[in-house]
Amino acid sequence: MPPTDASPPPAANIAESGSARPFEIRRVRTRFLGLTLDECIQGFFGGNAFVAVIILALITVFLFREGFKFFPLNQDNLRIYRAAGLEYVQHLRGLDESHLALNRYLQDVRLRGLQAMQVEGVPAAEIKARLAPFDAWTNAFGDAIDPVRGLAGEMGDLSVAAKEAYQQNEDYKVARDQFLAAGKTAEAQAIEIKEVDFAANAAVLRGLLPAAREAAAGASAVIEAQLAALPVFPVAELQPRLARFAELGREYLATYPAALAGMEAWKYDQPVSGLEAFQAFIFGRQWTTASFWQDWYGIVPLFTGSLLISLIALVIAVPFGVGAAIYVNQISTPREQRLIKPTIEFISAIPSVVLGFFGIAILGETLRRLSGWEGLSWLPGFPYAERLNALTAGCLLALIAVPTIFTLAEDAINNVPRAFKEASFALGATKLQTTLRIIIPAALSGIISAVLLGLGRVIGETMVVLLCAGNRIAIPDFGLGLSVVTQPVHTMTGIIAQEMGEVVRGSIHYRALFCVGIVLFLIALVINFLAQKIVRRYKVSVG
Amino acid sequence: MDSTATASVPRSRPLATPPASSAGAERGATLIDIKDLDFYYGAKQALFDINLQIPDKRVTAFIGPSGCGKSTLLRCLNRMNDLIDGTSVKRGAIKIRNVDIYGRDVDPIELRKRVGMVFQKSNPFPKSIYENITYGLRIQGVKNKTRLDEVVEKSLRGAALWDEVKDRLHESGLGLSGGQQQRLCIARTIAVEPEVILMDEPCSALDPIATAKVEELIHELKKQFTIIIVTHSMQQAARCSDQTAFFYMGKLIEFDATHNIFMNPKNPQTEAYVSGRFG
């Protein structure tokens, strides 16, 4: 028995020396710079965590600091718009612009008529003869606005000149201040600043009000007469469109008094409140930059664009993501699971620029061709002509959202205690009944938060929308129903990526982009907050 | 009682066929007949040649140290083991009312409607008390509100829970205490009117008072149901069962009236276990 032979001597040694050895339990640690190794390691990890928090805080502060300066600038922007008289003249220009839209309507009717007759095989000369009365009438209608247009142009020149003079002065002032700061007094004094006399300019513009009234009255009389004498359109089927045109024309005429009243009410020196500057951003329906007339920074078209694309993406991604999660977790064999899970998760590893490229090169064109196929013409918005639109971008974003939704939803389903499943089976439920009635309801809040985080992923995505959404800055026409999905749109992320590189640092445009960034930031914050809150509720409910 | 449990049992052994009369089987007649059962988790054999006849409308207790196969056998009786990959009955059969429950044309879903189960840890669904009880009927397609209401009251009364929860039927079942939750699970099980109720250590997570209530309930339930209870507590087995089966290392060591098992065990292993010398 070698082990028992060997063991007693050491035991005896310990027992003997134990009594002699001092009871040494004091802390002995090597120290670097007064810190123990443990403290160094703790400090390293703690420092990293702390730096992350600091950096996030800095980013937030920077974003808000840069962005919030937009509002005073926009306030000034709107003030000049009013003071220089652009606001005043815009009423007249508006009349002209709406008239132009009516003209386009007529041109559209004419084109349709022309095509219809060509299909019938009517010779060209005959078509021209038949359309002659309509063309004469259209021309008369078109010319009716000329006095208004002429006056609007004249007055517009005056107000733009005043605005430009003001802006030049502002630039001069900056230059002068720089010279003064640099101590170059002579140069500073050489800069001559002539303050723009907005009052005088306003008086001139106001003086033109009777002329504007006269022009508007003349135009409206001619238009009214024209509308009263609708021509007979050579293609009978299109006659109802002319009737509709008459309706639109009368609606248009009804805007005249309001426009003139707006001009009447204009006060060049009425101050613009901060609230107005804020509203102009949040509720502004136009995003127009580098315009000769007036720049508008309204987020609505970008926000609706982002929203539309995200909704399309979610409508596609939620069934796929959640369905795949349910399948993988509840139904699939382990082998399928091993195949499906990594595949879906791999999608998230594809760089979004590659997806965008795929969208431009293949998906956009494929969808467009598909939309021309007759069997699919019942789908809303099909067929369509724009290759790049909200639908193309939405499809690709769905691809980006699916891994997020799938992974998180799968986790949520997986976290449903096995006991629920067993209890359900023990009561004689089938697999499907168990899944639909027990597992999914129990995982529902987890699934909802998965969808929310998918939404967050999609709203923040930039490259795909920049490449594939069509980038037309306009509020999508939701009046068209579901076919709105085939319109090109622009997005909040896209506009930042597109314009940030070109703007002057510190300019109003630069700050407006930061404001868009803040809105994105807030959306992400809200989504994450909601998702966390829902998940927490879910944990409580399962107990 | 066959307590030898040797690996090779001659197939020619006379089969102790139960009375063939099915529906109106008299109390105490054999309801479940387990024959020569070998059960495997993958390649690992968990049950060795089990032979056991469980009588109708009685309480049968399965006792034995951890890992002895008593829960495995219990879960064979309603085929809950089917949910675990790789499990299989390699030999032998389980017959309930003379029907082989592992037969090819048996639907385990139908089987589980007849053989209910109560689990070790109470597991009410995260739904209202009412929904918990009616779940089993709803999945069978019962929609009649009056019928459901009746069943809820009857089941809750049957599980001695009605008076405690009648005013909050539509509150979450998870808001009940542990003992109440377990009785809710029993109510949920009896709502579908099974013939057999399997109980897998139903009191192991309960305090003594809640345990006493459940045991009292078991006494009541055996008038209507055949109950098989797996327990770690020998006192519990002694208190509430009519007969007891002692398992060790996947084998049935001894099966007899409870009184005999505890007072007069035939097998020395059984005696060692019930007297607390191991396990």
A222-254: per-residue pLDDT in tens?
888 888 888 888 888 888 888 888 888 888 888
Distances (CA, A) of B7 to A422, A509, B250: 32, 87, 11
CA distance B259 to chain A (A): 31
What pLDDT does B27 receive? 67
What would the pLDDT profile of A71-120 be if each residue is shown by its tens digit?
A: 999 998 898 888 888 888 888 888 888 889 888 988 888 888 888 888 88
pLDDT computed for residue A542 by the predictor: 47
Q: What pLDDT, on the 0 to 100 scale, is given for residue B87?
A: 87
Tens of pLDDT, residues A37-63 = 888 889 899 999 999 999 999 999 999
**What pLDDT, on a 0 to 100 scale, did the predictor assign at position A11?**
47
Q: What is the mean pLDDT of residues B30-41?
A: 90
Checking if the pLDDT of A12 tops 80, the result is: no
Q: Which whole number is the average pLDDT over B182-201?
A: 92
Residue A2, pLDDT above cutoff 50: no
Distance from CA of A317 to the nearest CA of B (A): 28
Give every CB contact of residue A324 below 8 A, 6+ residues apart in sequence. Answer: A340, A344, A402, A406
Residue A517 has pLDDT above 90, yes or no: yes
B22 contact A CB<8A: no
Rounded to whole angstroms, how far apart are CA atoms A452 and A450?
Answer: 5
Give the sign of the dihedral formed by CA A150, CA A156, CA A158, CA A164.
Answer: negative
How many CB atoms are located within 10 Å of the residue A88 CB? 28
Contacting residues of B for A539, CB less than 8 Å apart? none
Question: Residue A327 above 50 pLDDT?
Answer: yes
Of B126, B135, B188, the CB nearest to A542: B126
pLDDT of residue B10: 39
Please determine, for residue A201, whether its predicted confidence score (pLDDT) is greater than 90: no
Helices A508-542/A440-460 angle, 10° precision = 170
Nearest to B19 by CA among B30, B32, B27, B35: B30
Give the C-alpha separation, A305 to A192, whole Å: 46
Average pLDDT in chain B: 85
Q: Which of B127, B136, B172 sits opposite A427 (nearest CB)?
A: B136
User: Which residue in B112, B121, B124 is closest to A426 by CB distance?
Assistant: B112
pLDDT at A381 > cutoff 80 = no
Residue A16: the pLDDT is 53
Cross-strand partners of B200:
B230
- Place B30 in a pLDDT band, splitting at 50, 70 and 90: confident
> Cβ of A20: how many Cβ atoms within 10 Å?
6
> Distance (Å, rounded) from C-alpha B20 to C-alpha B30?
10
Bridge partners of B117, per DSSP, are B198
Q: Which of A334, A427, A542 sits opposite B188 (nearest CB)?
A: A427
B167 to chain A, any CB pair closer than 8 A? The answer is no
The residue behind tokens 């008076």 is: B163
Q: State the nearest Cα–Cα gap between A414 and chain B, in angstroms.
A: 16
Cα separation, B4 vs B192, in Å, equals 38
Q: Tell me: the pLDDT tens digits for B49-69?
A: 999 999 999 999 999 998 888
Q: Which two tokens stand for residue A199?
A: 């009052």
Kindly determine whether residue B123 and residue A542, on different chains, have CB atoms separated by under 8 Å.
no
Q: Is the pLDDT of residue A210 over 60?
A: yes
Residue A538 pLDDT level (bands cut at 50, 70, 90) = low
Asked if the model's pLDDT at residue B79 lies above 50, the reply is yes
**Whether the predicted pLDDT of A405 surpasses 80:** yes
Q: What number is the average pLDDT over the span A415-432?
A: 90
CB of A424 within 8 Å of a chain B CB? The answer is yes
> Which of helix, strand or coil describes residue A352?
helix
- How many CB contacts within 8 angstroms connect chain A with chain B? 70
What kind and span of H or E run contains B219? Answer: helix B208-221
Q: Which pLDDT does position B86 carry in this prediction?
A: 84
CA A537 to chain B, closest CA, distance in angstroms equals 12
Q: Which residues in chain A are closer than 8 Å to B110, comparing Cβ atoms?
A: 428
Q: Which of A428, A441, A541 sits opposite B109 (nearest CB)?
A: A428
CB of A444 less than 8 A from some CB of B: no
- What are the sequence ranges of the domains in chain B? 3-11+31-274
* Per-residue pLDDT, A292: 83
B177 near A CB under 8 A: no
For residue B182, the chain A residue with the least C-alpha distance is A423
Give yes or no for residue A18 having a pLDDT over 70.
no
Work out the minimum CA distance from B245 to partner chain A, whole angstroms: 23
Provide the pLDDT for residue B1. 40
Distance CA B151, CA B133 (A): 8
CA atoms of A134 and A543, how far apart (whole Å) = 77
Residue from the list B126, B127, B135 with its beta carbon closest to the beta carbon of A427: B135
ipTM: 0.84
* Residue B148 distance to chain A (closest CA, Å): 16
Q: Closest chain B residue to A330 measured between Cα atoms?
A: B83
B109 in contact with A at a CB cutoff of 8 Å?
yes
- At B188 the pLDDT is 93
CB of A35 within 8 Å of any CB in chain B?
A: no
A302-489 falls under which CATH superfamily? MetI-like (1.10.3720.10)
Provide, as residue numbers in chain B, all residues whose Cβ is less than 8 Å from the Cβ of A336. Answer: none
Q: So what's the pLDDT on residue A13?
A: 52
- Cβ-Cβ contacts under 8 Å, B80 against chain A: 422, 425-426
Taking contacts as CB-CB distances below 8 angstroms, the residues of chain A near B85 are 334
The pLDDT of residue B3: 41
Q: Could you give the angle at which helices A124-143 and A86-120 cross, rounded to 10 degrees?
A: 170
Express as a percent the part of chain A with pLDDT over 90. Answer: 30
Query: Any idea where the domains of chain A sit in the sequence?
Result: 11-68, 86-267, 302-489
User: Class assignment of domain B3-11+31-274?
Assistant: alpha beta
